[in-house]
């Protein structure tokens, strides 16, 4: 069984597209198809069923997928071991968004240093687009960003941060059982904008109202936004991660709005494909040890 064929199978599932998998693997689409067909011959079973221009996994394909992913991961770990990462690694350059810098890295880095005590860690904080550009230019080794797709990078989703409405403990919303977007639109709103598609959904929910919301403060920093809420300046939609301590201390209170549904910010770990050494493995291990995966 050829590892390249297994990789092609996993990539097609990851991108839900033969063409996108081909781009990511620097192959032609017929080459990816040929690898899948070769894998199917090895396994003596069909992995995909064609439905016009679309496809879906067969039941056998669904059963094989977790094993294929495990085989790839084991292969990468073995390759990393042969490269003697533990002996040669002396610097790790991390690029991340502000939220990751503030709340994830302080918990993750101690686990990395435990296994790599002599490792020098350099952190750059910037928006997702800047982090991606720095990674492609090899100015950083790994990045923590919102979900993006690029043919030269590998991406692992590791954390989903729910978005909710937060108010100060004395706010009338705390005592209301059925809160609507109309109720929120009548409040002074501190709007923390971070460019996510889910934030766009909040905009659309407000756009459907007869009365537009009273957005008095448009903030690009979560720390400033939550402090304004604690000062009773307004209410704010915020990621749960950045207000976890304030909620625990009773300084902020989450209030439920059924119309929001399951909004969240998704953070991914990204690295260049075929990077050597492969930083993703021990970083993912550190995230797992720190409780982030």
% of residues, the chain, pLDDT over 90: 41
Is the pLDDT confidence value at 275 over 70? no
Q: From the CB of residue 218, how many other CB atoms can be counted at a distance below 10 Å?
A: 11
pLDDT at position 91, please?
A: 87
For residues 213 and 185, the answer to whether their CB atoms sit within 8 Å is: yes
- As a whole number of angstroms, the distance between CA 24 and CA 146 comes to 19
CATH C-level class of 3-82: mainly alpha
- Both tokens of 46, joined, read 């069909």
177-216 confidence digits (pLDDT tens):
889 888 988 899 898 876 554 567 787 788 778 887 777 8
Burial class (CB in 10 A: 0-12, 13-18, 19+), 147: middle
Average model confidence (pLDDT) for the chain?
Answer: 86
pLDDT higher than 80, residue 243:
yes
Q: Which residue has the higher pLDDT, 108 or 285?
A: 108
With 90 as the cut, is the pLDDT of residue 168 above it? yes
3-state secondary structure of 96: strand
The contacts of residue 257 (CB under 8 Å, 6+ apart) are: 165, 179, 180, 181, 184
When mean pLDDT is compared across 21-25, 71-75, 161-165, 268-272, the lowest value belongs to 21-25
Given pLDDT bands bounded at 50, 70 and 90, which one contains residue 131?
very high
What would the mean pLDDT of 107-116 be, rounded to a whole number? 89
Q: 51-94 pLDDT, tens per residue?
A: 877 899 999 999 999 999 889 888 877 766 665 554 456 889 99
Q: Where are the domains of the chain?
A: 3-82, 86-158+267-289, 160-265
Among all chains, which residue has been given the structure tokens 């109202």?
209
Distance CA 116, CA 285 (A): 13
**pLDDT (0 to 100) of residue 197:** 47
Note the pLDDT of residue 277. 63
The CATH number assigned to the domain with range 160-265 reads: 3.40.190.10
pLDDT score for 220:
81
Encode pLDDT of 16-42 as tens digits: 889 888 877 778 999 999 999 999 999
Query: What does the buried/exposed string (b/e) look like for 28-39 if buried means 16 or more CB atoms within 10 Å of the residue's CB?
Result: eeeebbebbeeb
More confident residue, 262 or 155: 155
Q: Which CATH number is correct for 86-158+267-289, 3.30.540.10, 2.40.10.10, 3.40.190.10, 3.50.30.10? A: 3.40.190.10
Question: Are 23 and 153 in contact, with CB atoms under 8 Å apart?
Answer: no
Q: Do domains 3-82 and 86-158+267-289 have the same CATH topology?
A: no
255 pLDDT tier (thresholds 50, 70, 90): very high
């Amino acid at each position: 069984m050829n590892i390249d064929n297994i990789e092609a199978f996993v990539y097609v599932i990851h991108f839900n597209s033969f063409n996108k998998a081909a781009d990511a693997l620097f192959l032609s689409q017929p080459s990816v198809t040929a690898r899948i067909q070769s894998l199917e011959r090895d396994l003596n079973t069909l992995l995909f069923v064609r439905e016009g221009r679309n496809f879906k996994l067969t039941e056998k394909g669904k059963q094989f997928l977790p094993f294929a992913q495990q085989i790839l991961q084991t292969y990468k770990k073995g390759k990393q071991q042969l490269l003697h990462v533990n002996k040669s690694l002396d610097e790790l350059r991390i690029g991340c968004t502000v939220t990751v810098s503030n709340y994830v890295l302080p918990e993750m880095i101690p686990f990395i240093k435990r296994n790599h005590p002599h490792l020098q860690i350099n952190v750059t904080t910037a928006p997702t687009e800047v982090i991606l550009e720095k990674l492609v230019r090899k100015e950083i080794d790994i990045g923590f960003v919102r979900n993006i797709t690029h043919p030269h990078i590998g991406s692992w989703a590791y954390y989903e941060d729910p978005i909710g409405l937060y108010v100060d403990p004395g706010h009338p919303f705390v005592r209301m059982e059925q809160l609507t977007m109309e109720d929120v639109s009548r409040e002074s709103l501190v709007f923390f904008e971070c460019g996510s598609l889910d934030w766009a959904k909040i905009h659309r929910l407000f756009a459907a109202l007869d009365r537009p919301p009273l957005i008095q403060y448009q903030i690009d920093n979560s720390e400033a936004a939550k402090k304004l809420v604690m000062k009773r300046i307004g209410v704010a939609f915020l990621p749960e991660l950045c207000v976890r301590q304030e909620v625990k201390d009773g300084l902020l209170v989450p209030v439920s709005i059924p119309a929001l549904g399951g909004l969240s910010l998704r953070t991914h770990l990204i690295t260049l494909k075929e990077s050597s050494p492969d930083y993703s493995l021990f970083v993912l291990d550190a995230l797992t040890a720190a409780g982030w995966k």
